[in-house]
Structure 1
């Protein structure tokens, strides 16, 4: 299995612009899936980014999304997640089983609409971790 650790930015309506900007800085391929792409029909958030990333040949990688309007958001609160993406569910499960000790589970590890395996927790050091199986989305 391969594992990559990627900064995951949490924004409110600016994820697309941020990712486009970072692509101009670092180059690479931009991938964006909107909430509408994920089946959300709410016009207020349909065009917001549910999943986005820039991946450059240099090794630069960053992810971003637009937080849902019903979730609390503040520029200085939870500005990023540590994203651990993998290909082997058993290995991700073992990471989860260790990280979850003393953690607050934000979303239990399991199937999600956007990934075959996804979970989010805030560990005992107040770091929010996202673990998931990578899914290929078309380039933007």
Structure 2
């Protein structure tokens, strides 16, 4: 079996909302499991997400969890999710993900010839886009 590397996002109580939003934007299959589902029904975080996986037809896999109170939570700006390729739907993803967030680089043609843009979504996650242009 081959190894995989997937982004795994940490949230402070809103992983369900974030993953449902990403599911709405990107489509695919969303699997949500709470701490209670995994046998921790008595803990205060029983209804929070312990493990979520979004798998799309485009081959994207995005994972997430709600950090429990005992684990320090400090969102940072050192990680971004990158979506790149030739699929024109990337423009639609950019627009939908930017709703309620901040576009930090508008999606437009860049000096290397492709369209690129960056945004921070309403959950504080940075997304980078590069839409390859046909020569």
CA offsets, 1:40-70, max 9 Å, x none? 1235311101110110010111000001111
CA distance in 1, matches of 2:78, 2:49: 17
RMSD of aligned C-alpha atoms?
2.0
Aligned to 1:52: 52
The runs of 5 or more residues in structure 2 that have no matched partner are: 81-135
Aligned to 1:4: 4
Tell me the SS of whatever aligns to 2:24.
helix
Query: Number of residue pairs matched?
Result: 80
CA distance in 1, matches of 2:23, 2:17: 10
Q: In structure 2, do the counterparts of structure 1 residues 65 and 20 end up closer, same or farther at CA, with 3 Å as the change threshold? A: same
Q: Check if 1:70 corresponds to 2:70.
A: yes
Q: Residues 1-140 of structure 1: matches in 2 within 5 Å?
A: 1-42=1-42, 44-76=44-76
Aligned to 1:111: none
Higher relative contact order structure (alpha carbons within 8 Å, sequence separation ≥ 6): 1
Q: What TM-score does the superposition give when structure 1 sets the normalisation length?
A: 0.52
Tell me the SS of whatever aligns to 1:23.
helix
The runs of 5 or more residues in structure 1 that have no matched partner are: 81-140
CA distance in 1, matches of 2:41, 2:78: 26
- Looking at secondary structure, tell me which structure has more strand per residue: 1
Tell me the SS of whatever aligns to 2:5.
strand
State which structure, 1 or 2, has the greater radius of gyration over its C-alpha atoms.
Answer: 2
Moved runs in structure 1, 4+ residues, more than 6 A? 77-80
Q: What TM-score does the superposition give when structure 2 sets the normalisation length?
A: 0.54
Decide whether the 8 Å contact of 1:34 with 1:46 is kept in 2: yes
CA distance in 2, matches of 1:63, 1:79: 14
Tell me the SS of whatever aligns to 2:32.
strand
Tell me the SS of whatever aligns to 2:73.
coil
CA distance in 1, matches of 2:67, 2:74: 10
